[in-house]
Amino acid sequence: MTPTFFTNINGLLLVLAVYLTGGLLCLISGPRARLAHPLGAATAAIASALGFIATLPALSAVAPQHVALSWPAAGVDLALTLDPLAAFFLLPIFLLTFCGALYAIDYLHFPDRSWRAGLHWFFYNSLGASMTVVVLAANGLVFLLAWEIMSLSSFFLVTHDYQEEKVRQAGWLYLVATHIGAAFLFFLFFAASRAAGSLDFASFTALRTLPADSALLLFFAALIGFGAKAGLFPMHVWLPDAHPAAPSHVSALMSGVMIKTALYGLLRMLTFLPPIPGWIGIAVAILGIIGALFGIAMAATQTDIKRSLAYSTVENIGIIFLGFGLWLFCLATGHEAAAFLALIGALLHIWNHSLFKGLLFLGAGSLVHATGSRELSAMGGLLRRMPLTGSLLFFGGAAISALPPLNGFISEWLLYLSLFKAGQDTLAGTAVLFMLLAILLALVSGLVMLVMTRLLGVALQGEPRSQAAATAHESSAVLLIAAMLIPAGLCLLVGIAPQLPLQLINGPLIAMLLPNFAAADTTLLPPFGPAWSFTMLVALALLAIIVTVRTVRRRAAGRIGTWGCGYLKPDTRMAYTAGSYSQFAQDTVFCSCITPTAASTRSAALFPPAAQFRQERLDPVLTRWFLPLFRKLAEQAYAFRRLQAGQLSIYVLYIFTTTILLLGWSIMAP
């Protein structure tokens, strides 16, 4: 097999074959967990590594590659297309699937005679394969089919610990939310195929001539359908429950890349639709910044480490939508330069978020594993006990807080520049709006700092807050650490050499999404290049040397306990907790709907019984908007219960009537 044969869509067919064989072998290995566990992990890792190599050249290739298997029964072919847009989303998918598989080898433990290993790896492989097909699909039917498989396999992965009531609830919420979104997608693709004449994406270009109102209808169907999967506010409600419930490598995969397939779907639809009016772009940008503010404020109040990270995903999706909205607006109003900066910033942020959120979820998983709890209040002091994992988490926290010289800073920088540029180029009315968006983005990044210092400070630093945390120790597993080192290394690489990813993006991909713009125009970008890399490297090296020298040659007169301001018996129960850290921000900055609800029983009796205090950090959108709505709907649907009379004769009547109606329809139909 020559490299040229392999590094294209043929290679991806091979990848799919490896995924499927691996998955099926795991399934038929039945209860032999000792066989299925390494086998499933190995096939997933091999397939994704092959996929990464096969996809890389396609990002800068102009001509898309097709492959099609005929499928007469469905009326359309099983057709796949690899173009720069697909390649852009495939790369992080393969990368995180690879890291997740490495991580899971040491992270998951199965009893010897258990079906669960085989099932887990069957669904893991099928999630990998279905995400690949979603991005490669060349017609609506293949897309929807793969989309459903993706939703279902991730549902089964989320409910890995199905014995827990909370996990089942989270899985159920996810299943419902993802299918409501899917309903909009079914509508979207079938409406589009009616207008275009076929489900083939190639024929969807006919949609360019749609009248404005039906194009808008399709756009909103896409925004809601894909937004529900992406976790766009206010359709994010499933995300904070599902991510913590899943095993950590699955959380990393879902949060890092699976929800990004929805962004892919949206971008793909936008390439077919006629130009979107500018006000829609503004609406999307505003929705994005509201989601970012809401997500990060919610993240600041959570005490469950993975739930906090899940809300931070809502925030990052908001930032990406802010970039998309600005891009759409500037495209509609002809401000090409700002559109370019917004688009390239949003795209780079998609990659960046995959990297640091993958790293953070994997690291958080190790902490959860070591302490046996997801609660921040059960951790503490873990940086001393797990120096490698702790430092890697620290690194991820710095990257997501957009600190130079790491990757998050680069994409936020580009987004700021696009907002400034749009504010400079447009008229006063919209300029004020963009300035306001830039200011809110600054507020968001300030809050990210609050959330991350809280998460790292409470989980990793200070004294252990539980017995389990006190006895925690670093895992000796090499693969576990390697799975986190890969995204961490890439975070640093993108930060100090941003020209490398930007060159990959700023090619055929930009040409696809910004047709009237000279893609190679790098004069708008900050001066990323050898000089930037050199400066950052020197600064980093100097810092590292100083810290190392000072740590090794410490002139410490001694080590004693932290100064307790004169108090002699400090206790970890007196230490600042996650709740107290965010209390001040809660009281002064956040709106009251964000604050946790508290319930307490306090007795005024002379000999009071044990008092109780409980705080719940529920999503206000879910409890105030969606749950009442669905309760109303359920009440209305109650009337339909009469149809289910429970008598056999009634059901026979239903079947009979349906058959007659179908018969009549088939006669009447031409």
Scanning residues 543 to 582, which ones bind another protein (CB under 8 A)? 543, 546-547, 550-551, 554-565, 570, 572, 574-576, 580-582
CA distance 242 to 245: 5
302 is written with which tokens? 């959570």
> Is 484 in contact with 96 (CB distance < 8 Å)?
no
Indicate the residue among 124 and 528 with the shorter CB distance to another protein. 528
Binding mask 424-463 for another protein (x = CB under 8 A): x---x--xx--xx-xxx-xx-xxx-xx-xxx-xxx--xxx
CA distance 149 to 134: 9
Residue 585 in contact with another protein, rule: CB under 8 A:
yes
Candidates 194, 384, 614, 624: give the one binding another protein (CB under 8 A).
384
CA distance 78 to 5: 21
Instruction: Write down the least CB distance from residue 193 to another protein, Å.
Output: 44
CA atoms within 13 A on the CB side of 368: 22
CA distance 664 to 330: 53
Instruction: Write down the least CB distance from residue 358 to another protein, Å.
Output: 21
80 is written with which tokens? 């796949």
Instruction: Write down the least CB distance from residue 390 to another protein, Å.
Output: 8
Q: Which residues contact 149 (CB under 8 A, 6 or more apart)?
A: 126, 129, 130, 133
Choices 139-147, 261-269, 378-386, 596-604; region in contact with another protein by CB under 8 A: 378-386
With CB under 8 A as the rule, give the number of residues binding another protein: 79
Question: Which residues inside 330-349 make contact with another protein, applying CB under 8 A?
Answer: none
Residue 583 in contact with another protein, rule: CB under 8 A:
yes
Q: How would you classify the pairing of strands 612-616 and 597-601?
A: antiparallel
Indicate the residue among 99 and 338 with the shorter CB distance to another protein. 338
Indicate the residue among 11 and 390 with the shorter CB distance to another protein. 390
Question: Which residues inside 595-624 make contact with another protein, applying CB under 8 A?
Answer: none
Q: What angle do CA 633, 635, 637 make, to 5 degrees?
A: 70
Indicate the residue among 82 and 399 with the shorter CB distance to another protein. 399
Candidates 115, 187, 420, 517: give the one binding another protein (CB under 8 A).
420
CA distance 208 to 200: 15
Question: Which residues inside 461-520 make contact with another protein, applying CB under 8 A?
Answer: 461-463
CA distance 481 to 501: 24
Indicate the residue among 235 and 433 with the shorter CB distance to another protein. 433
Indicate the residue among 26 and 330 with the shorter CB distance to another protein. 330
Indicate the residue among 105 and 444 with the shorter CB distance to another protein. 444
CA distance 363 to 372: 14
Choices 4-12, 144-152, 540-548, 659-667; region in contact with another protein by CB under 8 A: 540-548
Indicate the residue among 537 and 629 with the shorter CB distance to another protein. 537
Instruction: Write down the least CB distance from residue 281 to another protein, Å.
Output: 20
CA atoms within 13 A on the CB side of 612: 4
Question: Which residues inside 183-202 make contact with another protein, applying CB under 8 A?
Answer: none
Instruction: Write down the least CB distance from residue 251 to another protein, Å.
Output: 24
Instruction: Write down the least CB distance from residue 450 to another protein, Å.
Output: 4
Amino acid at 132: T
Instruction: Write down the least CB distance from residue 452 to another protein, Å.
Output: 8
Chain centre to alpha carbon of residue 102? 19
Tell me which DSSP letter residue 507 carries: T
Instruction: Write down the least CB distance from residue 447 to another protein, Å.
Output: 5
Candidates 71, 279, 534, 584: give the one binding another protein (CB under 8 A).
584
Candidates 183, 542, 650, 653: give the one binding another protein (CB under 8 A).
542
Q: Which residues contact 375 (CB under 8 A, 6 or more apart)?
A: 303, 304, 305
Instruction: Write down the least CB distance from residue 575 to another protein, Å.
Output: 5
Instruction: Write down the least CB distance from residue 398 to another protein, Å.
Output: 6
CA distance 176 to 184: 13
Indicate the residue among 261 and 426 with the shorter CB distance to another protein. 426
Instruction: Write down the least CB distance from residue 324 to another protein, Å.
Output: 20
Is the sign of the CA dihedral 30, 35, 38, 42 positive or negative? negative
Indicate the residue among 552 and 643 with the shorter CB distance to another protein. 552
Instruction: Write down the least CB distance from residue 380 to another protein, Å.
Output: 8
Residue with token string 């330069």: 337
CA distance 246 to 362: 12
Instruction: Write down the least CB distance from residue 35 to another protein, Å.
Output: 42
Indicate the residue among 545 and 653 with the shorter CB distance to another protein. 545
φ, ψ for residue 139, nearest 5 deg:
-145, 165
> Is 196 in contact with 204 (CB distance < 8 Å)?
yes
Residue 376 in contact with another protein, rule: CB under 8 A:
no
270 is written with which tokens? 């936008």
> Is 39 in contact with 31 (CB distance < 8 Å)?
no
Residue with token string 């019984």: 609
Choices 103-111, 148-156, 214-222, 419-427; region in contact with another protein by CB under 8 A: 419-427
Distances (CA, A) of 224 to 200, 228, 235, 263, 500: 22, 6, 8, 12, 34
How many Cβ atoms sit within 10 Å of the Cβ of residue 245? 28
How many Cβ atoms sit within 10 Å of the Cβ of residue 53? 15
Instruction: Write down the least CB distance from residue 407 to another protein, Å.
Output: 13
Residue 295 in contact with another protein, rule: CB under 8 A:
no
Binding mask 389-418 for another protein (x = CB under 8 A): -xx--x---x--xxxx----x--xx--xx-
